[in-house]
Structure 1
Amino acid sequence: MSLGDDDGRRGTDDPYTTMGGTRQTRTRMPDDPGAGRPRAPRMRTSRSMVTVVGVVVLLVAAIAFANRGPGSGPSQDGRQGAPPAANSTAPTGERPVGGKGATGIPSGFARTGQGAQSAAANYAVTLGSEGMFTTAARSEIVRSIHVPEAVDNLLSSLDKAYSPDFFKNVGLDGNGQPPAGQTFVSRTVPVGTKVVQQDANAATVEVWCTGLVGLAGKDSTKPVTETWFTITQKLRWTNDDWKVETSSQKEGPTPVNGDNRASTSDEIAGAVEGYGGFVYAR
């Protein structure tokens, strides 16, 4: 606390430090080796410097860990540990799916928990894409990834949701098209997946996602922003593949924003046009 701070008690000019609420003064004892010498000034470190230091520390720790030889460290029970098996860092999980339907959406997922997670992640990407903003593409997407009996009611609800008023709110015209010279961005990126429930014919999978939405380009009034959300999909094994019965969405978990400089609209537009999406598989 600096001199003159009121410490929440207005009208007080007492420059001494409060200790335990007794208003006692702090006295430097004679045997204090620092007595009589001025304190060194504190270094003020920016957030970016803290980030750099943190990265360097982690990098050094990673190098040190990687350079540890066999038997150089104790195991959890205090004894010297054996070197890790050769396959301890090998890739795990099912191979990526090889099939894609007429719409380009991955298909042919394994009838396993990993296959269900892969299906849910890919379906989250598709349901969050620009294609959902046009009637024809939306119909193809919904029919490709949902169980047949859910399609008609879902399309009817979505056609009402993607209304001209909704398009106007996101900066599009009545047909879901962006203004001339601007690029509409709607992209979902899965961060992680989790199986909540599964049996031979059904699975419930949560997909934690970050998303980009907005208009990129000169004079954009709806800049591209990021969102964080979790999609819960109930899947059913239908026609030798996982298909969506129902899905719901909730906000978060949302991390703290970093120190990254926001890119220009043209940079965002170039990135969206230059970088394609991924096929997700466990």
Structure 2
Amino acid sequence: MISSARCRRCWNGISISRRWPNCWPKSRPSPISRRAMAEKPDSTLPPERMLRLQAEFAAHLRDPGNCPAPEGVEDRRMAVYRRLFFGNLRNLMARNFPVLRRLLDDVEWDGLIRELMVAHRSTTPLFPEIGSELLAFMAGPGEHWLGDRPWMAELVHWEYLETLARLHESEPPEPRPAGPERSDYAPALNPTLQMARYQWPVHQIRPAFVPDQPLDQPVNLLVYRRHDDRVAFERVNDFTLQFLLRMQSNRNSTGLVLLQALAEELNISPPDRVIEAGFGMLQHLSQREVISPILPA
């Protein structure tokens, strides 16, 4: 396929792609479009009527079954907006929650998206954060979806964390060769790292495996982006999770100081054995790119 500047799509107000410098440079408006541009818009519509028209338009797009379209607007024109509005949100959510999408059939998925549109009001205009709206919906008017899917809220949260890691604006650290960690060096977290603890095995849920009861013990999961831009997952024990959480609030502390404090907090003895095992943990986390190369404190 031959590609040229004229074949590229132009940037628009809802795109997150880069603006192309040339958008059909040789094209000219048709006589009809030139006349349309020359006409002045109708400014006789009272402001209160305009506001009411906008409210009716938005309400109809969200809930066309119960909210009529604005008076005087052709249904075939409204149908275009209905199809685009619903279809875009449905597809966007499917990309954000691919596992959940596969677990619901088409009728269930469309019902979830329609109810989200009707019963929830978004607080973010940003596409990368749109997944948080489904989280908020599940904690409020959409809670009834958990009736026969008690794992659903945690799965939504887990898939949202994956999106956050994948789209995080920070650059992951470069991998480094394996080597012994020094006690006077301070580790730094991968800035894309997301951590959570779940009662359900969300990392294993798929169409072939849907759990019917929670885990006996909660599972600690990490999701982050590697230097090669691949999203990675890691299951860790309680000690490792507590260590990483402590790193978040003590960014300038050395590995030795962090391990000593954690051993004391958890009342683990003798501390020397914990510290020795802890440096092995640091080496593993560094090789996995969960933490950055160990830098001088």
* TM-score normalized with structure 2 length: 0.21
Point out the structure with max Rg over C-alpha. 1
| Structure showing the higher strand proportion among its residues | 1
Task: Name the TM-score, length of structure 1 as normaliser.
Answer: 0.22
